[in-house]
């Protein structure tokens, strides 16, 4: 664009100095960003001095010099921009990596807690199942023992009166052999095998001194006059509350009641 035209030495010199100074300044900035030491003030003076010499360059070559100067400025700016973008990207990546690590750690902790809770629930369910199976087996065993110990049944009809021997025979027919002594111990202490025994203070009644006495009706309406009905109720009560007559006897010894 300047080809074939004359430009004053002052204009050329001024532009050259400005261009060279700009290039040098950008170079200094780029040098700082990349770790290169800055030039001293003497270097700037030398550059300005060199730039003054551009006035002596023919006008046809001055365009090339100015074009080269602008290109160098653009390159320096691009380098600075790339360096800044790189640092920003690295910082962003570092922050994201830290967030990912925290999230991963939290997820692992939650998974561990869930696994522990599931294992605990599974263990408790297994223990409950084993306990129920054991209780079922014990109940079946008591039933088998009761049947093997005698007739396994009580008289269905009542009579006017019963002897202690008769009442004890009824009990032996239904109480498991290994539980009978405990059963007998309780009856001995509560009523001495008198199925019509009454506690004058509380109103407790029968072989087992049930209180209130009327609750024995769950075993039969003839609970007041039939020892078989009382035995049925007493055995059911001991097994239901203490697991067995011996369990009831253990409690009785510790508390003097059951």
What is the distance between the alpha carbons of residues 8 and 19, in angstroms, rounded to a whole number?
Answer: 17
Other C-beta atoms within 10 Å of 40: how many? 9
Confidence (pLDDT) at 152: 64
pLDDT tens-digit readout, 46-80: 554 555 555 555 666 666 767 777 888 888 888 88
**Mean pLDDT of the 226-239 span:** 97
Tokens 């939650």 label which residue? Answer: 110
**Mean pLDDT of the 156-164 span:** 82
Cα separations (Å) of 248 from 2, 182, 239? 122, 8, 8
- Here the tokens at position 164 are 């202690």
Other C-beta atoms within 10 Å of 95: how many? 10
Query: Between 164 and 110, whose confidence is greater?
Result: 164
Q: What is the mean pLDDT of the chain?
A: 78
Confidence (pLDDT) at 211: 95
146: left (phi over 0), alpha (psi -120 to 50) or beta: alpha
Confidence (pLDDT) at 83: 86
What is the distance between the alpha carbons of residues 166 and 48, in angstroms, rounded to a whole number?
Answer: 136
Domain ranges of the chain: 9-94, 150-255
Burial class of residue 62, CB neighbours in 10 A (0-12, 13-18, 19+): buried
Confidence (pLDDT) at 74: 83
225: CB partners within 8 A, 6+ apart: 158, 196
Cα separations (Å) of 57 from 7, 14, 62, 108, 247? 11, 13, 6, 73, 122
Give 244's pLDDT tier (boundaries 50, 70, 90): very high
- Here the tokens at position 146 are 């009761």
Query: Between 209 and 48, whose confidence is greater?
Result: 209
- Here the tokens at position 78 are 């691009």
**Mean pLDDT of the 18-34 span:** 43
- Here the tokens at position 140 are 């079946």
Looking at the predicted structure, is the pLDDT value of residue 101 above 60? Answer: yes
Query: Between 159 and 229, whose confidence is greater?
Result: 229
Q: Percent of the chain beyond pLDDT 90?
A: 38
Other C-beta atoms within 10 Å of 44: how many? 15
**Mean pLDDT of the 203-207 span:** 96
Helix then strand count (H, E) for the chain reads 7, 0
Least trusted range by pLDDT, from 144-148, 208-212, 225-229, 240-244: 144-148
Confidence (pLDDT) at 148: 46
What is the distance between the alpha carbons of residues 77 and 29, in angstroms, rounded to a whole number?
Answer: 9
Identify the top-confidence range among 48-52, 131-135, 157-161, 233-237.
233-237
Confidence (pLDDT) at 11: 44
Confidence (pLDDT) at 57: 59
Identify the top-confidence range among 89-98, 137-146, 154-163, 167-176.
167-176
Give 171's pLDDT tier (boundaries 50, 70, 90): very high
Burial class of residue 67, CB neighbours in 10 A (0-12, 13-18, 19+): exposed
**Mean pLDDT of the 183-200 span:** 97
Give 249's pLDDT tier (boundaries 50, 70, 90): very high
Confidence (pLDDT) at 10: 42
Burial class of residue 12, CB neighbours in 10 A (0-12, 13-18, 19+): buried
Show the DSSP H helices in 150-199 as ranges: 164-174, 180-190
Q: Percent of the chain beyond pLDDT 70?
A: 68
């Amino acid at each position: 664009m300047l080809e074939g035209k004359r430009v004053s030495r002052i204009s050329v010199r001024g532009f050259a100095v400005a261009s060279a100074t700009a290039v040098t300044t950008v170079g200094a900035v780029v040098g700082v960003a990349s770790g290169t030491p800055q030039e001293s003030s003497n270097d700037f003076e030398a550059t300005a001095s060199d730039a003054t010499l551009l006035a002596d360059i023919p006008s046809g070559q001055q365009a090339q010099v100015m074009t080269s100067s602008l290109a160098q400025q653009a390159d320096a700016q691009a380098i600075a921009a790339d360096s800044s973008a790189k640092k920003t990207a690295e910082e962003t990546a570092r922050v994201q990596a830290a967030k990912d690590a925290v999230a991963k750690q939290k997820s692992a902790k939650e998974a561990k807690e869930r696994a522990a809770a599931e294992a605990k629930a599974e263990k408790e369910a297994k223990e409950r199942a084993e306990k129920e199976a054991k209780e079922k087996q014990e109940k079946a065993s008591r039933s088998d023992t009761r049947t093997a110990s005698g007739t396994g049944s009580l008289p269905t009809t009542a009579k006017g009166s019963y002897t202690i021997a008769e009442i004890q025979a009824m009990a032996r027919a239904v109480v498991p052999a290994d539980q009978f002594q405990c059963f007998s111990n309780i009856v001995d202490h509560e009523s001495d095998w008198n199925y019509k025994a009454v506690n004058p203070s509380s109103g407790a009644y029968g072989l087992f001194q049930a209180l209130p006495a009327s609750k024995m009706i769950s075993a039969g309406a003839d609970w007041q006059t039939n020892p078989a009905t009382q035995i049925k109720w007493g055995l059911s009560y001991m097994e239901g509350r203490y697991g067995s007559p011996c369990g009831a006897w253990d409690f009785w010894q510790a508390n003097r009641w059951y």
